[in-house]
Amino acid sequence: MANESIIEVKNLTKMFNKFTAVDGINFDVKKGEIFGLLGPNGAGKSTTLRMLSTLARPTKGTAIIGGFDITKNDNEVRKLIGIVSEKMIMYNRLTAKENLWFFGSLFNIPKDVLTKRIDELLELVQLTKWKNAQVGTFSTGMRQRMNVVRALLNLPQVLFLDEPTLGLDPQSSVEIREFIKKLNRENGTTVVITTHMMVDADLLCDRIAIVDHGRIVALDTSANLKKTISGADTTIISLEISNLSPELITALRGLNCVDAVTQENTLTLRIIVHGSEAFDSVIDKVRAMNGKISSMQNLQPSLEDVFLHITGHQVRDTADQKIPQEHKRFGASQQGRIR
């Protein structure tokens, strides 16, 4: 039971004209797990999710969800899944209850069952008080809770979430994460989530697939992914230099033992190094350039380091570019490259 796959993705490919957004990916999602697709905007996560949720047609390949092929039995697949999209699927001029009633009625749920379910769901996300208020008057956090609840109307076996915490304040993010965990624990709902937020992936997901340029570059549990860099001879150091200069950063990047350098803030650098001589080489270089080290720390690797290590560029860099369409990805990720 525990190892049974509910989603099998087979060579899934999506092309927009000549641009390949998703490049023949393969993976399985086990029943009852929380599976994360982590990567920068434009990596192909959302396109993958749209194909899995039958909203976009794959150019090549397919996926089997709960025994149904997404390209052949799309309506059967739709009965099993729920999707929380990055955009709010909600009509602002309808009340919370009317919205849920409308979407629920499209699933042919019997009236009495639906009425009861809507009440339960609204209670679950503490919106009962607002059930007769128009959704347009809701705060972003309330709207996102509504958005999640809408996807649960048909009691889906698989819930897809596309950047569910995007644009939410920390408190609302925590609420959504807790809610997803609860849903997974209590109902055994399989969850597939896309995110470019390391925290989300780290705190939520049983397994994480790191996606870059339409391909899966790594797939494992968070702990195992981190081991890939903290093991062997890779170390992460945080270096605070009181007279940090761009020249110094360039010089450090030039070192053989340095894999990646990112600037955390005005004075602090985060450096991934390898080899036993690495510490000495870095310190020597800083001293040779007259840099003044005010603090130095040996860090536990984060998922971000893993991503950096594997792809050679930062998640944040590409994410910050705010790329609206998959097509534009190329230019943006080029800029995002550090070395």
Partner 1 sequence: MGAKTLFSHSMRIAWKDLTELFRNRLGLVLLIVMPLFMMVMVGFIYPSNGGTGANLPVGIVNEDSGFNNSTLPSQTFIMGLEIMNNQTHFLAFSNVTTMADIKDMVQRGDLEGGIVIPSNFSQSILTGEQGTVIVITDNSNLQISAQINGYSQLYIEQLSTVLAQKNVQSLNATNALAVVNPYSIQLQGVVSGTTNYFDFVAPGIMAMTVMMSVMTGLPVAISQEKEVGTMDGMMVAPINRLSIILGKTLGQTARGLLQGVIILVLAIGLFGVAIQGSILLVFALLLLGVFSFVGLGIVITSFTKDQETAQMLMMTLMFPMMFLSGVFFPIQTMPWYMQDIAKFMPLTYAADAMRKVMVLGAGISAISTEIIILIAFGAIMTAIAVPVFRRMMTR
Smaller CB separation from partner 1, 55 or 174: 55
Residue that has been written with the tokens 């899966």 in this structure: 216
Smaller CB separation from partner 1, 64 or 216: 64
> Minimum distance from CB of 54 to partner 1 (Å)?
7
> Minimum distance from CB of 134 to partner 1 (Å)?
7
Largest CA distance in the chain: 76
Rounded distance between C-alpha atoms, residue 43 and residue 211, angstroms:
6
Smaller CB separation from partner 1, 106 or 288: 106
Smaller CB separation from partner 1, 16 or 330: 16
> Minimum distance from CB of 110 to partner 1 (Å)?
13
> Minimum distance from CB of 257 to partner 1 (Å)?
48
Nearest to 36 by CA among 149, 181, 229: 181
Nearest to 198 by CA among 216, 225, 179: 225
> Minimum distance from CB of 330 to partner 1 (Å)?
21
Smaller CB separation from partner 1, 138 or 307: 138
Residues near 240 by Cβ (< 8 Å), separated by ≥ 6?
267, 268, 269, 293, 294, 295, 296
Please state, as a whole number, how many other Cβ atoms lie within 10 Å of the Cβ of residue 181.
14
Residues near 42 by Cβ (< 8 Å), separated by ≥ 6?
318, 323, 325, 326, 328, 329, 332, 333
Task: State the residues that interact with partner 1 by CB under 8 A.
Answer: 53-57, 75-76, 78-79, 81-83, 85-91, 93-94, 98, 102-103, 105-108, 134, 150
Smaller CB separation from partner 1, 75 or 266: 75
> Minimum distance from CB of 66 to partner 1 (Å)?
13
Q: Phi and psi at residue 304, in whole multiples of 5°?
A: -60, -40
